[in-house]
Amino acid sequence: MSKDIAVEEIRAVRTKISAKYHHNTRELLDHYRKMEKKYRNRIISTKKSLNHSLV
């Protein structure tokens, strides 16, 4: 099975972000929660997505 370049790039970025927070789950989750708040307008709501797809 060949490697998917996009998947490999995503994994590399995720590893870098994790290393930045010392591979500490709590620190990493705090970081992602802050990013969710910062970019709240870019996150798609599951409810909206489900309702829209049913229409």
* pLDDT (average), residues 28-44: 91
* pLDDT (average), residues 21-25: 97
CA dihedral angle for residue 19, residue 35, residue 9, residue 49, rounded to 10 degrees: 140
- Report the distance separating Cα 23 and Cα 33, nearest Å: 16
Locus of tokens 């490999």: 8
- Report the distance separating Cα 31 and Cα 39, nearest Å: 12
- How buried is 3 (Cβ within 10 angstroms: 0-12 exposed, 13-18 middle, 19+ buried)? exposed
* pLDDT (average), residues 23-42: 94
- Report the distance separating Cα 39 and Cα 55, nearest Å: 27
Each residue of 37-47: pLDDT tens digit?
999 888 777 76
